[in-house]
């Protein structure tokens, strides 16, 4: 058997959990039943008090850590933070990671079969919101026998789910970890999302979302959407540092083929993404982002929305992130201070832009570990009593 790194959770097997309880969505529509694909790492303790929920970002899924097969070249998307001795220490915590509703990695979504019709949902899959996801995740917690999470943790769109958890189920989490997120999208954020959606829906292969039946894939549109998205995930400095104006062949070729390294890189990223991601899911995820605005129900006053939260907060941002800049995280922090809630905030020096939340930057891992270890210390002390 292959040796995985010592700080890896090793081989993991996803499981599909079926839910028969109908889920009423923010749109007013109902999902009569649905599946969630889940991975877990570590052991749930006897008191079920050491569970951590990982919420994924736009293109994420349930496979956050470890490997599916011995041949896997890459581990899960947040393997840098989840594992034995890592920031989210699987020797101490029971970690739950899922693919959200509307996703394309096994949970009910546009590319899964609608039991009513026997056909893929396609564009008929209802628009889901961050609050809907949180509802479904609460159902998952019930299923796993977890009354209260030790922490709900997420970066980017995942951080938004964590924030929504604290508002919708204040008594069901003790800590909320919000990394590189925002209390709502800016106009500019929505604008970028719309470019991505247009790229997909205007692709001739899109067929109004019914491309499965046509045996086609709106690959060009999905690629473009990802390329635009990817630009917003990197910082200008980071891009310059990594690619500069390097030419692939060393000289200008005077044609319209990709010549600069950055062009090749974006095409490669788009290509790879379009082979593994579903276009309808991409549309859904960007809508969930656009709609997220927990303060909207509270007179647009975030501090008021946070009045009833009970958990402690850890908020982190990255200096060169311009998608969800440090100012956006500070809006959350300022509202928490105003509401009199417990909050710790760090601003990590990093050149990687928004992507930094996935990268094990030493200072980031130091503060993240310090916070998570304190959670573990407190609950182990409490349980020993």
Partner 1 sequence: MRADLEIIRDWIRPGSRVIDLGCGEGELLEHLVNEKQVQGYGIEINADNITACIEKGVNVIEKDIDEGLCGIRSNSFDTVVMSHALQTMHRPDQIVEEMLRIGKECIVTFPNFAHWRARFYLAFRGRMPVSKFLSYTWYNTPNIHFFTFKDFEELCVERNIYIVDRTVVDHEHKHRWWIRLWPNMLGEIAIYRITR
Q: Per the structure block, which two tokens stand in for 156?
A: 């980017």
Site track 295-334 with partner 1 (rule: CB under 8 A), x = hit: -----------------------------------xx-xx
The Cα 140–Cα 381 span in angstroms is 27
Does 346 help bind partner 1 (rule: CB under 8 A)? yes
Under rule CB under 8 A, how many of the chain's residues touch partner 1? 21
Question: In the structure encoding, which two tokens stand for residue 17, read together?
Answer: 């959990």
Rounded to 5 degrees, φ, ψ at 125 are -65, 130
Q: How far is residue 264's CA from residue 261's CA, in Å, rounded to a whole number?
A: 5
241 binds partner 1 (CB under 8 A): no
Q: Is 366 in the site for partner 1 (CB under 8 A)?
A: yes
Active-site residue among 132, 321, 325, 352? 321
Smallest gap from residue 374 Cβ to partner 1 (A): 6
> Is residue 347 near partner 1 by the rule CB under 8 A?
yes
Nearer CB in complex with partner 1: 98/332: 332
Question: Can you tell me the distance from the alpha carbon of 9 to that of 96, in angstroms, rounded to the nearest whole number?
Answer: 13
Q: Which range touches partner 1 (CB under 8 A), out of 89-97, 192-200, 228-236, 360-368?
A: 360-368
Tokens of 310: 């009970």
- Binding window for partner 1 (CB under 8 A); candidates: 113-121, 141-149, 237-245, 339-347: 339-347
Per-residue CA distances from 84 to 90, 93, 144, 369 (Å): 5, 9, 22, 12
Q: Could you say which of 363, 380, 382, 383 contacts partner 1 (CB under 8 A)?
A: 363
73 near 49, Cβ under 8 Å? no
Q: Give the separation between CA 192 and CA 322, rounded to whole angstroms.
A: 12
> Is 321 annotated as catalytic?
yes
Judge whether 253 counts as a catalytic residue: no
Based on the number of CB atoms within 10 Å of its own CB, is 2 exposed (0-12), middle (13-18) or buried (19 or more)?
exposed
Q: Which of these ranges, 4-12, 54-62, 126-134, 370-378, lies near partner 1 under the rule CB under 8 A?
A: 370-378
Question: What residues make contact with partner 1 under the rule CB under 8 A?
Answer: 330-331, 333-334, 337-338, 340, 342-347, 363, 366-367, 370-371, 373-374, 378
Catalytic residue list: 156, 321, 354
């Amino acid at each position: 058997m292959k040796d995985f790194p010592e700080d890896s959770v090793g081989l993991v097997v996803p499981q599909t959990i079926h839910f028969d309880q109908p889920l009423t969505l923010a749109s007013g529509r109902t999902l009569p039943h649905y599946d969630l694909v889940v991975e877990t790492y570590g052991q749930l303790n006897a008191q079920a008090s050491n569970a951590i929920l990982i919420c994924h970002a736009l293109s994420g899924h349930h496979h956050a850590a470890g490997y599916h097969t011995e041949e896997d070249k890459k581990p899960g998307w947040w393997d840098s933070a989840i594992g034995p001795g890592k920031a989210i220490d699987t020797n101490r915590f029971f970690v739950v990671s899922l693919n959200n509703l509307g996703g394309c990695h096994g949970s009910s979504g546009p590319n899964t079969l609608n039991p009513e019709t026997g056909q893929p949902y396609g564009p008929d899959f209802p628009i889901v919101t961050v609050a809907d996801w949180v509802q479904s995740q609460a159902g998952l917690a019930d299923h796993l026998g977890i009354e209260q999470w030790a922490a709900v943790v997420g970066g980017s769109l995942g951080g938004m789910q964590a924030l929504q958890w604290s508002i919708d189920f204040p008594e069901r989490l003790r800590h909320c970890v919000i990394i590189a997120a925002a209390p709502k999208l800016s106009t500019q954020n929505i604008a970028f999302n719309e470019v991505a959606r247009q790229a997909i829906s205007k692709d001739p292969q899109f067929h109004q979302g019914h491309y499965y039946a046509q045996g086609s894939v709106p690959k060009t549109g999905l690629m473009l959407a990802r390329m635009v998205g990817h630009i917003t995930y990197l910082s200008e400095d980071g891009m310059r540092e990594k690619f500069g104006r390097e030419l692939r062949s060393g000289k200008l070729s005077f044609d319209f083929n990709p010549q600069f390294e950055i062009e090749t890189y974006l095409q490669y990223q788009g290509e790879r993404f379009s082979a593994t991601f579903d276009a309808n899911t991409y549309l859904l995820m960007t809508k969930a982002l656009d709609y997220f605005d927990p303060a909207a129900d509270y007179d647009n006053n975030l501090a008021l929305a946070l009045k009833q939260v009970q958990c402690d907060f850890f908020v982190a941002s990255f200096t060169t992130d311009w998608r969800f800049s440090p100012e956006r995280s500070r809006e959350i922090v300022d509202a928490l201070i105003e509401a009199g809630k417990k909050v710790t905030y760090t601003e990590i020096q990093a050149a990687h832009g928004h992507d930094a939340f996935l990268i094990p930057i030493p200072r980031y891992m130091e503060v993240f570990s310090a916070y998570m270890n304190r959670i573990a210390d407190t609950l182990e002390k409490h349980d020993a009593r």
